[in-house]
Amino acid sequence: MPRLARLDISGLLQHVIVRGIEQRDIFNDDHDRQSFTDRLFSLLPETGVRCFAWALLSNHFHLLLMPTSTPLSHFMRRLLTGYAVSFNRRNKRSGHLFQNRYKSIVCEEEPYLLELVRYIHLNPLRARMVASLEELDHYQWSGHAVLLGNRQIDGQDTDVILERFGKRITTARQKYRQFVMDGIKTGRRDDLVGGGLKRSQGERPINEYESFDERVLGGGVFVDGLKQEFTLRDKMKSAITLIRLVEIVALALSLDPDAVRKPSKNRAPATARGIICHLAIYEFGYTGSEVSKTLHLGPTGVSLASRRGEKVLKTDPLLLQKIMASIDK
């Protein structure tokens, strides 16, 4: 049975799980772990991805992310490829390091944000990489110690978590730790790793189930909303081809479409390509690889161009109106 495409939508929580190929270790020592975390937290601000929780184990890791301006697929490609190259070089090995596909689960923020933070941060304790909650409080390779203030890592988004436990930082951290402690006795939470709604409903007549999707952790209304958004994206995508989008953006900037499709360091064509990348991916549902082939840019180039295009359109809303009016004709 073919695997379903990932739901790569900006502004939504994504629980990402990555495992080593054939269940092999992907971290041999603290040097590997430090290399991975350095890469992770340098990419977050560069790509506009927010990180709320994370935990490194021996043969897999968990991340709780929210992409904003860069598709999750682009972020994960850079993170995994860069780390795998570094790991292979240092450990004198070759070949694949990770399973072919990472697992990503779109999560409804309420009521799952805090539950997922707790679930992810308790993984080192459940895996017996630490012996107690007290040891976890200072464990270097998860975001739990950062939330408690025992470690400082720029890039982990702590405020949105702690503010849910209180206005004063000291009180919030105490309540957060108690929340984590309360979760120890619950054991495994299979309902938090996809298809959670169906699992939580138990054995019921099929016509009484709410909508569910194995790629989604959330209620039926949330799942239905995602399906509607993807249906709308498919309709938008069919409304305009990439070649036509290039022509419209080029015309709006008084440029030759052929010049826009060719890589160039000249400012005007580069601006046009940035606008095309942003609109194609975030307004019309095209993938980065589709845009890459049309504009002859690599995946990183598409990601960087998209961010430039977003900035241009934010500072010049009249240009955006002009382009969209041409598309609607």
Is 240-328 in the same CATH topology as 13-192? no
Q: Which of 235, 296, 239, 218 has the alpha carbon at shortest distance from 264?
A: 296
Please report which confidence band the pLDDT of residue 232 belongs to, taking 50, 70 and 90 as the band edges.
very low
Q: Are 137 and 148 in contact (CB under 8 A)?
A: yes
Tell me what percent of the residues of the chain surpass a pLDDT of 70. 81
Domain 13-192 in this protein, CATH class: alpha beta
Locate tokens 């503010």: which residue?
163
Determine whether 221 is exposed, middle or buried from the number of CB atoms within 10 Å of its CB (0-12, 13-18, 19+): exposed
Question: How far out from the chain centre does Cα 260 lie?
Answer: 29
Region of poorest pLDDT, from 6-20, 142-156, 164-178? 6-20
**Which residues does residue 66 pair with via DSSP β-bridges, in sequence order?**
50
Strongest mean pLDDT among 107-116, 186-195, 279-288: 107-116
Residue bearing the bigger pLDDT, 8 or 31? 31
Report pLDDT for 194. Answer: 54
Amino acid at 245: L
What mean pLDDT is predicted for residues 288-315?
86
Q: In the predicted model, what is the mean pLDDT of the chain?
A: 84
Please report which confidence band the pLDDT of residue 104 belongs to, taking 50, 70 and 90 as the band edges.
confident
Contacts 24+ apart (CB under 8 A), 249-253: 249/275, 249/276, 249/279, 249/323, 251/326, 252/319, 252/322, 252/323, 252/326
CA–CA gap between residue 134 and residue 32 (Å, rounded) = 24
End-to-end CA distance of the chain: 41
pLDDT at position 208 over 50 = no
What mean pLDDT is predicted for residues 10-35?
92
CA–CA gap between residue 159 and residue 174 (Å, rounded) = 14
What mean pLDDT is predicted for residues 15-21?
93
Ordered by start, the domain boundaries in the chain are 13-192, 196-231, 240-328
pLDDT tens, 33-89? 999 999 999 999 988 899 999 999 999 999 999 988 778 888 998 999 999 999 999
Report pLDDT for 47. Answer: 86
Please report which confidence band the pLDDT of residue 245 belongs to, taking 50, 70 and 90 as the band edges.
very high
pLDDT at position 226 over 80 = no
Report pLDDT for 205. Answer: 45
Residue bearing the bigger pLDDT, 59 or 232? 59
Q: Are 295 and 273 in contact (CB under 8 A)?
A: yes
Report pLDDT for 1. Answer: 34
Q: Are 83 and 36 in contact (CB under 8 A)?
A: yes
CATH topology of domain 240-328: Chromosomal Replication Initiator Protein Dnaa; Chain: A; (1.10.1750)
pLDDT at position 200 over 50 = no
Global pTM reads 0.66
What 8-state DSSP symbol labels residue 132?
S
What mean pLDDT is predicted for residues 314-328?
84
Please report which confidence band the pLDDT of residue 279 belongs to, taking 50, 70 and 90 as the band edges.
confident
